[in-house]
A and B are shown apart, each in its own frame.
Chain A
Amino acid sequence: MGVRICSALAIAAMLVAAAAGGADDGASDKVLKSTSDHAKFKVLQQEFASGPEVTRACLTCHTEAARQLQLTQHWKWEFLNPDGRRLGKKSIINNFCTSVASNYAYCTTCHIGYGWKDDRFDFSVQENVDCLICHDTTGNYRKAPGFAGHVVTQETEFPPGSGNRLKPVKLGPIAQEVARTSRDNCGACHFFGGGGDGVKHGDLDSSLASPDKSLDVHMDALGNNFACATCHMTAGHQVPGSRYAPTAVDRGGARLRGKEYKTNPTTCQSCHGQAPHKAGAAKLNDHTDKVACQTCHIPAYARGGVPTKMSWDWSTAGLMGLDGKPMVRKDAKGRVVYTAAKGTFVIAENVVPEYVWFNGRVTYTLLGDRIEKGAQPTRINHFEGSAGDNRSMIWPVKVFRGKQAYDPLYKSLVVTHMAGTDDTAFWTNFNWEKAVAVGMASVGAPFSGKVDFVETESMWPITHMVAPAKDALRCHDCHASGARLEKVAGIYIPGRGSDHSVWLEVIGWALAALALAGALVHGTGRIAAARRRH
């Protein structure tokens, strides 16, 4: 009888699924996605005056959530590199907007918290964790730059006296619609890294909010529709797959349910294994020990119609137009390529990556590290690896080139006070010496009073915007003269220009000719012998 009850229940379950699936309407989708309708919770049925008030309400049920968040990199903006150096947004200097220090109120717009306005922010206050930035589903939650991650809930003129009015955000309805994270949530910050849409990464921009298959086979809104968390499999709010802790080589197989894994789950191999190509294309499986999947499957980045910045020259910043106002220049398509505040940019779409050996180790040039202005650009960060270390794969990267302020006497990168309504901020007064003096003082670093500009380079892994198989690279994209991997050293790539060797080819063809001649002579002999026998 137990069995019968079971089968009755199974039929019932199937009917539930069929009924709900067949209905295909938003409401039943919602019921099936979550056991809670947050609109029904009394604590959320109110108008909130600030973000922390919402968080307090969330914590009445999700009692440990803030404590979980406070353990994450998203909260701390800090990462200890395996070489012992302290990294993370909080301390590094990059060649985009350069540094968070002394610009907190602007940069922390993208912090998952409220109120980080200077270096005295209290990281232990639970209500300062921002739940909505990751769990909003309405798309209406916004944090304006300049408010230290706070959300504007009353119409506000900002900057004061500018006439620019910020629309208030209504937190109640947003809090009532919270759910799991989506591409829109992560994208609200990660699509806009470096100060604008697509600026920093090249493989992350707003086109991935609702992409088609040709842009990304995994996130395809009409197909697989992966959320970021589908690959960045989050547990206890810890999001794996940070670029600070990259996995360049994954020799593991596809993951099985129920098994416990300690390694990064965001790699291609963690789903596709080591031999992902079908029988007809099995030769490709011979590549997977040396060539990262991304190398062939992301033929170009910035493919969604949003350009990415390729270089940024801060040394030209500060020009005023004939009208005495900060100058802005646009390209033929109307896209900004110069502003007085930021200098000159080169932007590009459909960019072919550069390729390097990468073993997962990244080295950084940090504040105080000695740098020289010379023929070689200073490496803001650098992907380590070589053909010979047996721990590297060939990876596609975006190399971002720039020219940025440094101290020519102390020979160090500098912290610049860029943003702010005060008179020392570079974006207000366009005076480098003043802005750097304040920036360096804010971190207690020495400054000679002189500013010069140094060429810099940073590397960014290309790993999103995976194209459909039909658009992946073909043999000749690498196995030909002047092809993509021409500059990758230490490996023999048949057909590649730098691997052509006349004597080797002569010997090869001579051996092939000898083998053919041998076969012909032998065959003719056999035929002649057979004829004679008859």
Chain B
Amino acid sequence: MTKTVYVAGVAALCLLGIGLHAIDAHAAGGDWKRGRVYYQKVCTDCHTAKAGGAIAPNARTMADWTAYLNADKHAKGKDSLRNYASREYRASVKGTNKAAEKYADVPDEQLFNDIRSFMLKGAKDGDSPASCN
């Protein structure tokens, strides 16, 4: 009897797991708040130090950002933008960057999607234009 309950529990968990992943696949929107934190604490940290200052989402339009994000060329084409949202990059800076540490295990595609949501939403013609403040 105990065993039955246990097996039923495990089976339920598996189903729940499948459920979660099914929802996950449909979560196209992206978590803009997580995107915001990553953008501010990882992207902007480096831009302030090495790119002559912060780059505000409202500096460009949604169409510009969509093209930029799809092209995946960063810093005047020198490297890949996706690289800076990757788990590999996060692992390399997590000793000194708390956002990279906190989000160390978030799947690449998901985090990139979060950043995309934040940038599009904050674009000049986005739903809620965001400066760097």
Contacts and interface: CB of A to CB of B under 8 A. Distances in A.
A305 B131 CA distance: 12
A197 B34 contact: no
Nearest to A13: B9
A212 B27 contact: no
B12 to A, nearest CB: 7
Contacts, number: 96
Contact of A4 (B2, B16, B24): B2
Contacts of A24: 105-106
Contacts of A29: 31
Contacts of B9: 8-9, 11-12, 15
Nearest to B22: A27
B98 to A, nearest CB: 5
B133 interface: yes
Contacts of A223: 98
A16 interface: yes
Interface string B55-87: 000000000000000000000000000000000
B2 A12 contact: no
Given A24-B106, A31-B23, A306-B133, A138 B127 contact: yes
B116 interface: no
A140 B133 contact: no
A161 interface: no
A139 B121 contact: yes
A530 interface: no
A224 interface: no
Interface residues of B, number: 38
Given A138-B127, A139-B128, A23 B121 contact: no
Nearest to A16: B13
A5 interface: yes
Contacts of B98: 212-213, 222-223
A106 B10 CA distance: 57
Nearest to B107: A25
A5 B7 CA distance: 11
B93 to A, nearest CB: 14
Interface in A8-48: 8-9, 11-12, 15-16, 19-20, 23-31
Given A16-B13, A221-B37, A222-B37, A27 B24 contact: yes
B10 A12 contact: yes
Nearest to B102: A222
B127 A140 contact: yes
Interface in A198-231: 206-207, 209-210, 212-213, 221-223
Interface residues of A, number: 39
| Secondary structure class of chain B's binding surface, majority of residues | helix
B133 A207 contact: yes
Given A5-B5, A222-B98, A222-B102, A12 B12 contact: yes
A19 B2 contact: no
A17 to B, nearest CB: 11
A142 interface: yes
Nearest to B114: A26
B9 to A, nearest CB: 4
A30 to B, nearest CB: 8
Contacts of A182: 33
A197 B133 CA distance: 10
Contacts of A9: 5, 9
Contacts of B105: 24
A12 B87 CA distance: 30
A1 interface: yes
Contacts of B133: 197, 206-207, 305-306
A12 B13 contact: yes
A28 B20 contact: yes
A219 to B, nearest CB: 12
A15 B32 contact: no
Given A8-B9, A25-B24, A28-B24, A139 B127 contact: yes
B27 A222 contact: no
A35 to B, nearest CB: 13
A306 B41 CA distance: 17
A213 B97 CA distance: 12
25 contacts: A5-B2, A8-B2, A8-B6, A9-B5, A11-B6, A12-B10, A12-B12, A15-B13, A16-B13, A19-B20, A23-B20, A25-B27, A25-B107, A26-B24, A27-B27, A139-B32, A139-B127, A140-B128, A142-B128, A206-B133, A210-B37, A210-B40, A212-B41, A221-B37, A223-B98
Interface of B: 1-2, 5-6, 9-10, 12-13, 16-17, 19-21, 23-24, 26-27, 30-34, 36-37, 40-41, 98-99, 102, 105-107, 110, 114, 121, 127-128, 133
- Which 7 A-B pairs give the minimum distances between C-beta atoms? A12-B9, A27-B24, A140-B127, A4-B2, A27-B23, A8-B6, A26-B31
Interface of A: 1, 4-5, 8-9, 11-12, 15-16, 19-20, 23-31, 138-140, 142, 167, 182, 184, 197, 206-207, 209-210, 212-213, 221-223, 305-306
Given A8-B6, A27-B20, A140-B121, 15 more contacts: A5-B5, A11-B9, A20-B20, A23-B24, A24-B105, A25-B106, A26-B30, A28-B20, A139-B127, A139-B128, A184-B33, A212-B98, A222-B41, A222-B102, A306-B133
